[in-house]
Amino acid sequence: MRLFRLLGSMAAAGALVAGSFAFTAPAAQAAPPSGRLLIGDSVAGMNSAALQARGFRVDYSVSRQFSALPGIMRSYGSRMPKNVVVHLGTNGYISASDCQAAVKQAGSKRTVFFVTVRVPRAWEDTNNATLRACDKSFKGKRVRIIDWHKLSDKNSSWFYSDGFHPKESSGAIRYANLIDKKVDKQGR
C-alpha cells in the first residue's frame, strides 16, 4: 500500500499525490448542474473528469469522512439536485445514524444513491452492509445502492497499487459509466 503525501498545503496546492498518480481539485462551482451531484472523497475526486463529462457536479475532499455528509447536504439546502450520489466510507466506518440523517436531510423528493466501497480495510464489509441497511430502512425511490464493490471486485487491474483508487484509463471510466447508468435508470 502506498501512503499519500501532501504537496505543500492541501488548501493551497489542491493536489493529491500517491505514488504515480495525481489529481487536482476542481474549482468551486456556484450551483450543481440540474439533477446530478456526487459527494465523495478522493476516490470520487480521481473520477471527477469522467463524472463531469456525464453531467455530474463532483463535491469531494481528500480523506472526507461519512460523518460529514449530513452537514454537507444541509449546506446545499434548496440547491440540492434531485439525484445525489454519495461515495464515502473509504476512510473509516459509516454509522447508521449518519446514513439515515443524510437521507432525511435530502428530503422525500430526492433520490440518494449510495456507492458501495472497495477498500482493503477492516471496515469495507461493515460499511457496505450499513449502506444496504440504510437503503432498506426507507421506502420507495428515496435510496438506491450502486454496487461499485461488486463490479470492481474481480478487476484489480483497474486500480493503482493501493487497491481502491481507480486508474483514469480503466477504472474511472467504468466507475463513471456505472453511476451514470444507475442514475439514468433509477433517478428522478
pTM of the model: 0.82
Q: Is the dihedral of CA 76, 11, 49, 120 positive or negative?
A: negative
Per-residue pLDDT for 83 more than 90?
A: yes
Query: 163-186: per-residue pLDDT in tens?
Result: 899 998 889 999 999 999 999 999
Ordered structural domains, the chain, with CATH: 30-186 (3.40.50.1110)
139 Rama class: left (phi>0) / alpha (psi -120 to 50) / beta: beta
Q: What is the predicted pLDDT for the residue at 111?
A: 96
Nearest alpha-carbon partner for 42 in 170, 174, 182, 164? 164
Quote the pLDDT of residue 103. Answer: 96
Could you tell me the pLDDT band of residue 140, with boundaries at 50, 70 and 90? confident
* Cα torsion 87, 88, 90, 95: sign: negative
Grid cell 463490479 is found at: 151
- Residue 8 is given by DSSP the state S
Average pLDDT along the chain: 84
